[in-house]
Amino acid sequence: QVWYIALVIIALDQGSKWLIQQGMTLHESIPVIPGFFHITYILNRARRFGILENQRWLFLIMAILLFVLYAVFRKKLPEHRAVQAGAGMLLGGAFGNADRFLHGAVVDFFDFRIWPVFNIADIGIVIGVCLLLWYSWTHISE
């Protein structure tokens, strides 16, 4: 289940980035809900908020480390849906954004105007971490 979820996140992420690159010009912004939500094509060379710009190797190492940690500890992970989904989304998001290593940047396009522009891999990472934290918070004392 974890690998299936990871592959779905990677496919959605890479497919959406490809569609954006094919259908838009860099820095083009299409208002979906004007002033609130736009589809804006940018190339992000840094992590959130401009941190670690041009650190291509670091991002690849982090994705590989996450994969290795999962491979080593996967048999110890609970079979709970939240854990399986969270791990899959986190892995999928990490590898979806590993295109930063290949191209020096990732395509971001969800633009809510009050938050930095992001992509589907970022959504996978955030939801994955939230699911794992929620599970830890509600089940660790058991």
Q: What is the pLDDT of residues 61-116, one digit of tens each?
A: 777 777 777 777 777 777 889 989 999 999 999 889 888 777 778 999 999 999 99
C-alpha to C-alpha distance for 34 and 126, rounded to whole angstroms:
25
β-pair type (37-44, 29-33): antiparallel
Q: Is 122 one of the annotated active-site residues of the chain? A: yes
Alpha-helical segments (H) within 24-141: 56-73, 81-96, 99-103, 120-139
pLDDT, mean over the chain = 86
Catalytic residue of the set 13, 99, 111, 122? 122
Contact 29, 109 (CB under 8 A): no
Confidence of residue 59 (pLDDT cuts 50, 70, 90): low
Q: What is the pLDDT of residues 112-129, one digit of tens each?
A: 999 999 999 999 999 999
The mean pLDDT of 44-57, rounded to a whole number, is 59
Catalytic residue of the set 13, 99, 108, 111? 108
| Residue 76 DSSP one-character state | G
Structure tokens at 142: 């058991």
Q: Is 108 one of the annotated active-site residues of the chain? A: yes
Largest CA distance in the chain: 52
At 62 the pLDDT is 72
